[in-house]
Structure 1
């Protein structure tokens, strides 16, 4: 059975609507906002600087490795946003508005999810005991972006996939 682009899009929209419209999504709106906010970027800078300054074994290596990988990731992410130019759900689904205002107008790939996934990969590489927690956090950021109405599920998958690829290449 062949899966067409149209079928994938229909499934994507259906899953989005299920997650966004569910009562659970509405009840968890404030939690989703908080979780999403942790992926804005300031936390990555704080963690990197704290490790650089106070963790003598791997802190400096982690900081410079993160700087290098995020320097590679960011232009690729921005290029993909411009190539896909996928409208956010809140702009493309009639009678639908998001719970937050997105920082830009395109949704694929999810920047919050991809940055959180890249950070989780870095932490897993340097501090494996924290890896499961960080990947859980990255996943929650992705879910929060859908439940807030600014991303489709495939935007989340694309963001995570982008960072997993960059981490795989950059951490070997």
Structure 2
């Protein structure tokens, strides 16, 4: 953990008003998955993107079950801002434990599920998820390993969600043929 604090302290020195504002915005917009939920609902509205939206919805539900309700309490890791109280917080201390990063895991899960369904829409979503993950470090609310764990979990859940969406779509198609 000393390396992780060293990295966060190094990053802390680069704070700027513009990056502060952007990070605070994404903290609030992603606190309950609002960005990903809104994008999911938008995709569900159109027949062409409905399967991708369904995959994203499944990914978000899987994250809540696996990450938020199971892994966070299991690891019960304190946040870096709780251990180093000398830093100036830009946002309110997040509720819950640090590992895995919920912003990262849910964002990567939704974006990766989308990418597996639709590369054109999924690529910018993955970039957004990566940027949101970075802001968690910038805000000093997660350790780098929280972000890494969230990303790995997100990839696994996104892949599972995409597979579920494919299965449901293929099952519906087979029923329509019969």
Question: 1:6 corresponds to which residue?
Answer: none
Question: Counterparts in 2 of 1:29-40, with a 5 A limit?
Answer: 29-40=20-31
- Once the two structures are TM-superposed, the CA of residue 170 in structure 1 deviates from its matched residue by 3.4
Q: Which residue among 34, 38, 50 is the counterpart of 1:42?
A: 34
Q: In structure 2, what is the Cα distance between the partners aligned to 1:83 and 1:109?
A: 10
**In the alignment, what sits opposite 2:71?**
80
Structure 1 residues 166, 105: CA separation in 2 closer, same or farther (over 3 Å shift)? closer
1:1-172 correspondence to structure 2 within 5 Å: 9-20=1-12, 22=13, 24-27=14-17, 28-40=19-31, 41-53=33-45, 55-59=46-50, 61-78=51-68, 79-172=70-163
For the Cα contact (< 8 Å) 2:109–2:156, is it kept in 1? no
RMSD: 1.8
Structure 2 unaligned blocks of 5 or more: 164-178
Extract structure 1 runs of 4+ deviating beyond 6 A. none
TM-score relative to the length of structure 2: 0.81
The answer to whether the 8 Å contact 1:118/1:164 transfers is yes
* Aligned-partner Cα distance in 2 for 1:13–1:117: 24
Does the 8 Å CA contact 2:72/2:96 hold for their aligned counterparts? no
3-state SS of 1:86 partner = coil
Structure 1 unaligned segments of length 5 or more: list them.
Answer: 1-8
8 A Cα contact 2:104 2:130, kept in partner? yes
TM-score, structure 1 length as denominator? Answer: 0.83
8 Å Cα contact 2:63/2:157 also seen in 1 = yes
